[in-house]
A = this chain, B = another copy of it.
Amino acid sequence: MPEITLVQAVNLALARAMADDPSVLVLGEDVGAEGGVFRATEGLLDRFGADRVLDTPLAEGVIAGMSVGLAAQGFRPVSEIQFTGFIYPTIDQLVNHASRLRTRTRGRLTCPMVMRSPYGAGIRAVEHHSESPEAMFVHVPGLRVVIPSSPARAYGLLLAAIRDPDPVVFLEPTRLYRAAREEVEDNGEALPLDHCFVLREGTDITLITWGAMTKETLAAADRLEVDGVSAEVIDVATLKPLDSDGLLASVAKTGRCVIVHEAPLTGGVGAEIAARIAERGLVSLLAPIERVAGWDTVMPLPRLEQQYLPSEARILAAARRVLAYQ
């Protein structure tokens, strides 16, 4: 079983889904001969042909809108938005159409589409290439929002997203695309779309995160272990619908919680998680919840991006404050 990167796992899942189901199509800017700017769709054109791997004109709105039309007709379009900085023109289609086609027609027409997009900072990219807008999608009823943080989860969650009968926004952390390798068996097995993943078990504090920040969060947990603190690390992974039970169970056990994300603090998905814990887990809380997040500023250009991103040090500091709280 080969060790592959996260972006290779995406590629593997796409190929698998296309091989299994002729209704799966891949479309987007440069997904064909180019194989996607990150090579997530590499080889698919050769293998499946130009009828199933479509380079679109440069227009994200029509990529989203034609996905709705294709999906209503029974195809399963998997589109790629080149960077989340260019995903905003798709929001109208996602909110006003994709997410509600089922409910407005009372199930007559449905919208099994996936919109993939690399997201997040840390690769020294040019302006508008480093944002984390997941919260915007998490607020939209009828959408699913999924973010993998390892090759195996990328494979299993993407398969699940493609097979899901409803629209899914699938965000892939660019910073992790080639950061690590993992053995991934191409067995066609999907992962559930409504469960968070416990990356590391622990008893003293729960660290909740997703996407690329799993890296710094796991590092912080390692560091805490040196100090004799047992941190549980959870990768939320399926941000909508959110697995409240999974998160609450962990906080019930540890009584302490830090939430970590790259997106700006205010109105980030961390807020929803903190709110749910404050509503339902208050009794078990031994300390205030802390959120370690991107600042409420525009994502800076690369020279300052490392100072924008939550660092292991910031996570650690928050964890220690939470642990020290009496």
Does A268 reach chain B (CB closer than 8 Å)? yes
Point out the residue from B92, B139, B263 that lies within 8 Å of A266, measured CB to CB.
Answer: B139
Tell me which residues from 108 to 151 in chain A have a Cβ below 8 Å from any Cβ of chain B. Answer: 127-128, 131, 133, 135-136, 138-142
Copies of this protein chain in the complex: 2
Q: Are A266 and B138 in contact (CB under 8 A)?
A: yes
Interface residues on A, range: 35 or more
- Which residues of the other chain, B, contact A127 by a CB distance below 8 angstroms? 104
Q: Are A298 and B128 in contact (CB under 8 A)?
A: no
Interface string of A85-118 (1 = CB under 8 A from B): 1001101100110011001100000000000000
Q: Are B272 and A278 in contact (CB under 8 A)?
A: no
Q: Are B279 and A290 in contact (CB under 8 A)?
A: yes
Query: In the complex, A287 Cα to B61 Cα: how many Å?
Result: 45
Does A255 reach chain B (CB closer than 8 Å)? no
Query: In the complex, A279 Cα to B103 Cα: how many Å?
Result: 37
- Which residues of the other chain, B, contact A92 by a CB distance below 8 angstroms? 88-89, 91
Does A297 reach chain B (CB closer than 8 Å)? yes
Nearest neighbor of A279 in chain B, beta-carbon distance? B288
Does A192 reach chain B (CB closer than 8 Å)? no
Does A54 reach chain B (CB closer than 8 Å)? no
Query: In the complex, A203 Cα to B275 Cα: how many Å?
Result: 23
Looking at the assembled complex, report how far the CB atom of A229 sits from the nearest CB atom of chain B, in whole angstroms: 20
Does A277 reach chain B (CB closer than 8 Å)? yes
Query: In the complex, A136 Cα to B269 Cα: how many Å?
Result: 12
Does A62 reach chain B (CB closer than 8 Å)? no
- A282 and B274 in contact, given A89-B92, A103-B298, A267-B139 (Cβ under 8 angstroms): no
Does A285 reach chain B (CB closer than 8 Å)? yes
Does A296 reach chain B (CB closer than 8 Å)? yes
- Which residues of the other chain, B, contact A89 by a CB distance below 8 angstroms? 61, 89, 92
Query: In the complex, A278 Cα to B282 Cα: how many Å?
Result: 9
Interface string of A134-177 (1 = CB under 8 A from B): 01101111100000000000000000000000000000000000
Q: Are A291 and B279 in contact (CB under 8 A)?
A: yes
- Which residues of the other chain, B, contact A128 by a CB distance below 8 angstroms? 96
Looking at the assembled complex, report how far the CB atom of A275 sits from the nearest CB atom of chain B, in whole angstroms: 4
Does A271 reach chain B (CB closer than 8 Å)? yes
Q: Which 7 A-B pairs have the closest CB atoms?
A: A139-B267, A278-B278, A274-B275, A88-B92, A282-B288, A271-B271, A271-B275
A88-B95, A91-B136 known, 18 other contacts, Cβ within 8 Å: A85-B96, A89-B92, A100-B298, A135-B139, A136-B139, A139-B268, A141-B266, A141-B295, A242-B266, A271-B272, A271-B274, A271-B275, A272-B275, A274-B279, A278-B278, A278-B282, A278-B285, A279-B290
